[in-house]
Amino acid sequence: MLPDQYCQEKAVTSGSSFYYSFLFLPAEQRRAIIALYAFCREVDDVVDECSDASIARRKLDWWRTEIEACFSGQPRHPVTRALQHPIETINLPGEYFQEIIDGMEMDLEQNRYQSFGELALYCHRAAGVVGLLSAEIFGYRHRDTLRYAEELGTALQLTNILRDVREDARRGRIYIPLDELLEYRVNPHDLLKGTVTSGMRELFAFQAQRARQYYQRAMTRLPAEDRYPQRSGIIMATIYQALLDEIEADGFRVMEQRTSLTPVRKLWIAWTTARKERQRQRQQRKKPAHA
């Protein structure tokens, strides 16, 4: 199997919403972002699928070495071989890939976060840096777009944390800050046991509101000239905000069931959002330049 085919299969079989945002990109950008996504899936799977932390660390160390090999022109894994061309042609800093691995390693070292300040570092490493790499692949003219990309990455991660709170608790992980559990009178042991208590709905509503604030901040930072190049991120934001809407409409019952959107709905959101951004770009071009 060719490296690009391997990455494509990794993206398709994951069932992730991210895949739908890649469909409306030019071929070369699409191959690059799918390779980046496949890398993220590989290192994330190390932590999720390996029950022995010492073995997981060795595997992550292997990926650190493999990234170094990729940047020196000697990749071995199909994913790093697929990343070779983007790394040679786009500004994709090697330290960003290492920082993503740092984020995965945090899952091996801690399964609680005392405050949002602690969680913010995890979100930066696990998702914000991915946003920065994605922005480089999509292209931009203004530095503010990098601030947008990192804020958006954090927003997506916060949405995942809310959606997956039950699944993570079954793995012994609680990403919601402990001081916020205390504020809303939610016992961490209830999360771990899957027990639904009175304060959980308000706690989860607060988490959703924080995620929405990050989406709003991200979009206000995105310059108009960079909206169309960054349309895949906008598609992701639209899909994930629709997911937040569903979670809210369901009464924040994330401890009882996992809320998701159907593939057809994701595709519809992706297509309509891409179409709106194309129309917005055309209108932008028609505006007369300022004297």
Reading the chain (291 residues) residue by residue, the pLDDT tens digits are: 799 999 998 888 876 788 889 888 999 999 999 999 999 999 999 998 888 899 999 999 999 999 999 999 999 999 999 999 999 999 899 999 999 999 999 999 999 999 999 999 999 999 999 999 999 999 999 999 999 999 999 999 999 999 999 999 999 999 999 999 999 999 999 999 999 998 999 999 999 999 999 999 999 999 999 999 999 999 999 999 999 999 999 999 999 999 999 999 999 999 999 999 999 888 877 776 554
Look at residue 288 in the predicted model and tell me its pLDDT: 66
Q: How far apart are CA 208 and CA 270, in angstroms?
A: 22
Superfamily of domain 1-109: Farnesyl Diphosphate Synthase (1.10.600.10)
Angle at alpha carbon of residue 204, lines to 146 and 264, rounded to 5°:
65
Q: Do domains 1-109 and 112-281 have the same CATH topology?
A: yes
**pLDDT value, residue 291:** 43
Report the predicted TM-score, pTM, of the whole model to 2 decimal places: 0.93
Best CA proximity match to 111, nearest among 185, 194, 182, 188:
188
All structural domains of the chain with their residue ranges: 1-109, 112-281
- Under CATH, to which class is 112-281 assigned? mainly alpha
